[in-house]
Amino acid sequence: MQPLLTIWTHPEKTLKFILKTKTIGYSFFLLFLTALSLGMTICHDTVPMNTPFLYVLFILFITVIYVCILLVWILTASLSTWIGNVIGGVGGFKDVLLVTSVAYIPFALLIPLQLLYIFLYGYDLYWGGNMLHQFTTVLFEYSLLSKLLLVFLILYGTIIFLKGICTVHNFSTWRSYGMILLLTVMMLYAGIILFTRTIHFLVYYF
Strands (E), 30-76: none
Calculate mean pLDDT across residues 128-145.
Answer: 52
What is the structure's pLDDT at 70? 94
| pLDDT (mean) for 127-152 | 59
- pLDDT confidence bin for 129, thresholds 50/70/90: very low
Q: What percent of the chain has pLDDT over 70?
A: 79
pLDDT digits (tens, 9 = 90+) for 159-180: 999 999 999 988 888 888 888 8
Residue 108 banded pLDDT, cuts 50, 70, 90: confident
Q: What is the pLDDT of residues 30-66, one digit of tens each?
A: 999 999 888 877 766 565 555 556 677 778 888 989 9
Q: Residues 15, 104: contact at Cβ < 8 Å? A: no
Residues 6+ apart with CB under 8 A from 26: 18, 98, 101
Q: What is the pLDDT of residue 53?
A: 61
Average of per-residue pLDDT values in the chain: 80
pLDDT at 149 over 50: yes
Which residues have a Cβ under 8 Å from the Cβ of 113 and sit 6 or more positions away?
A: 145, 146, 149
| 172 conformational bin, left if phi > 0, alpha if psi -120 to 50, beta if neither | beta
CA distance 120 to 142: 11
